[in-house]
Amino acid sequence: MSRIYSRGIMVIRWLAAFMVAVLSGCAQHTERNVTPQTGVWRMELDLEGEALPFQFHLERADDSTWMALIHNASESIRVKDIEVYGDSFVMRMPLFDSEFRGLIQSDSLITGDWHNHLKGPDHRIPFVARAGQAHRFLGPSSGSGRFAGTWETHFSPGTDEGYNAIGIFEQGPEGSATGTFVTETGDYRFLEGAVHGDTLQLSCFDGSHAFLFHAELRGDSIVGRFRSGIHWKEPWIGVRNPNYQLRNPDSLTFLKEGYDMADFSFPDLDGRVVSPHDPRFKNKVLMLQVMGSWCPNCVDETILLKNLHEEYADQGLDVIAIAFEKYAEERQAVEALKRFRATLGIPYPIVYAGMASKEQAAAKLPFLDHVMSYPTCIFVDRSGKVRRIRTGFYGPSTGKHFEAYKRNLHHFVEQLLSEPVPEPA
C-alpha cells in the first residue's frame, strides 16, 4: 500500500512539474519582447479578400513612448496613444473610438485586428502591417494623366440609393494619384493611391473611414467600385465634366413654415442647460453646428469654426455645437465629446442632443424641415433670426471648393457682424 502511495506521490509531482514547464513556456511566449522597427510601415486591412492599404511612420521618443503618423495624401494624423509591450501592439486613434490590436511577429511584421467600437463590440477587420514598404499600392505605377481633372460622378446609378458627386483627381510623378469626391452631404476626404495604366486605385483611413476605390477607364468614362469597410460596396460611374455642379448646399435644409428662429435647450458637457436664448448670446451672431464626434467631416468643419471663433469672437461671434452621438449610453457619449473637445481645443459650448440619426435630429430640432447631413451649420443674426442653413461641408481635401467656401464664409460672417445691434423691445 505504501509503495502505491509513493508511486502516486511521484506521479503527482511529475504532473505538477510538467504543468509548471507548460505554463512557463506559455509565459515565455506571451512575454516575448519584440521591438518593431521605426520608419515607414505599410498596413493592409483585409476587406474580405480585398486589401485596403495605407502607410504610417512609426517613431519612438524614448524606451516607452511611441508615436505614429498615418498618411492620407496631404493629411497626417498624429497618433500618440501607442503601447508596445512584450510581443503586443496597441494603437488607439486620437479622435474616433477605434484601435489596432496586434501581435508583433517580428521587428518588421505585425498582424491583428482593427476594432471600430462605434460600430459594435464585435466589429473588427484583420490587418497585416509590414515595415519598409514605401508604396501604398504595390506593383509598377504608370499613367498618362487621363484620370486628372473633374468628373461628373454617380454612385449606385439607377437605384433608389443612388446619389451624385463630383470626382476630383490629380496625378503626380511615377503614377501617384490623389483626389476626393464631393457629395451633397460632405466629401470623402483625403484619398491617395496610384494609376496602373488605365486603372486607378485610391484609399483612405482616418480612424473612422476605411475607404477603397477602384476605377477603370473605358473610352471617355470611368467605371468604378467603392468599398467602405467590410459591410458596404457599390458601383459608380464618371464622365469628364469640369462644369458639373451639385445642388446649392444652402438650399437643402430649411426652416419649417412658421419658424424664423432656432429654439432648443440641451445640456452641455458639464450638465448645464444651454439655449441660444441665454443672456450670454444676446445680440450675438451665432453659428449652430449640428455635428457628431464620430464624423470626420464634422472634424474638418470644427477646425474651421474654431479658427473663425478665434478671429471674430471679440466682434460678437459665438458658436454652439449640437452633438448627436452613436453611443446608446449618455455617459459614453459625453466622454467621447469631452475627448473631442480636448483634442481639438474647442473654446465654445458643445451640447449633447441625443443619438445620431436623422429622425432623432428632426425630433430634437423641430424648427428644421429635415436634417440630411452631419454636419449642418445654421447661421443666426444678432436679432436671433436664422439667415442661412448650410448642409454638409466641403473640407480641405476638396481644394478650390474649400477655399471658395472659406472666402464666402468670412464675407457672410463679417456681413452679419456689421449689422446694427437690435434696439431693446
> Predicted confidence band at 143 (pLDDT cuts at 50, 70, 90)?
low
Percent above pLDDT 90 for the chain: 82
Instruction: Note the pLDDT tens digit of each residue in 154-195.
Output: 999 999 999 999 999 999 888 899 999 999 999 999 999 999
Do residues 197 and 142 lie in contact, with contact meaning Cβ atoms separated by under 8 Å? yes
What's the confidence (pLDDT) of residue 10?
46
What residues have CB less than 8 Å from 346, skipping those under 6 apart?
A: 302, 306, 321, 340
What's the confidence (pLDDT) of residue 252?
94
Higher per-residue confidence, 134 vs 141: 134
Q: Which residues pair with 75 in a beta bridge?
A: 72
Do residues 283 and 417 lie in contact, with contact meaning Cβ atoms separated by under 8 Å? no
What's the confidence (pLDDT) of residue 370?
81
Q: Which residues pair with 114 in a beta bridge?
A: 100, 125
What's the confidence (pLDDT) of residue 31?
60
- Report the pLDDT averaged over residues 92-98: 96
> Predicted confidence band at 422 (pLDDT cuts at 50, 70, 90)?
confident
Sign of CA dihedral 296, 375, 377, 328: negative
Show contacts of 414-420: CB within 8 Å, 24+ apart: 414/312, 416/285, 416/379, 416/381, 416/382, 416/387, 417/285, 417/312, 417/315, 417/316, 417/317, 419/381, 419/382, 420/382
pLDDT of residue 13 exceeding 90, the answer is no
Joined together, the cell numbers standing for residue 31 give 512575454
Distance CA 361, CA 363 (A): 5
- Which amino acid, one-letter code, is at 350? I
Dihedral, CA atoms, 393, 258, 420, 273, nearest 10 degrees?
-70
pLDDT of residue 255 exceeding 50, the answer is yes
Burial class (CB in 10 A: 0-12, 13-18, 19+), 399: middle
What's the confidence (pLDDT) of residue 240?
96
Do residues 343 and 325 lie in contact, with contact meaning Cβ atoms separated by under 8 Å? no
What's the confidence (pLDDT) of residue 38?
97
Report in angstroms the alpha-carbon separations of 289 from 84, 249, 320.
Answer: 38, 15, 6
What's the confidence (pLDDT) of residue 61?
85
Q: What is the pTM of this model?
A: 0.89
- Which amino acid, one-letter code, is at 108? S
What's the confidence (pLDDT) of residue 142?
73
What's the confidence (pLDDT) of residue 11?
42
Terminal alpha carbon distance of the chain = 107
Instruction: Note the pLDDT tens digit of each residue in 294-352.
Output: 999 999 999 999 999 999 999 999 999 999 999 989 999 999 999 999 999 999 999 99
What's the confidence (pLDDT) of residue 109?
98
pLDDT of residue 58 exceeding 90, the answer is yes
Q: Where are the beta strands (DSSP E) in 229-284?
A: 232-240, 266-267, 273-274
Joined together, the cell numbers standing for residue 84 give 508596445
Distance CA 148, CA 177 (A): 8
Instruction: Note the pLDDT tens digit of each residue in 358-405.
Output: 888 889 999 999 889 999 999 999 999 999 999 999 999 999 999 999
- Report the pLDDT averaged over residues 233-258: 96
Say if strands 317-325 and 285-291 run parallel, antiparallel, or are unpaired.
Answer: parallel
Show contacts of 304-308: CB within 8 Å, 24+ apart: 304/406, 304/409, 305/348, 305/377, 306/344, 306/345, 306/346, 306/347, 306/348, 308/409, 308/410, 308/413
> Predicted confidence band at 357 (pLDDT cuts at 50, 70, 90)?
confident
What's the confidence (pLDDT) of residue 138?
82
Q: Report the interhelical angle of 296-312 vs 400-418 (nearest 10°).
A: 40
pLDDT of residue 247 exceeding 90, the answer is yes
Do residues 295 and 209 lie in contact, with contact meaning Cβ atoms separated by under 8 Å? no
> Predicted confidence band at 425 (pLDDT cuts at 50, 70, 90)?
low
Q: Residue 174: which of 148, 192, 194 has the closest Cα?
A: 194
The secondary structure of residue 179, as a DSSP letter, is E
- Report the pLDDT averaged over residues 218-242: 96
Distance CA 196, CA 202 (A): 11
Q: Give all domains of the chain, ordered by start, each with its CATH number.
A: 39-131 (2.40.128.120), 149-240 (2.40.128.120), 249-418 (3.40.30.10)
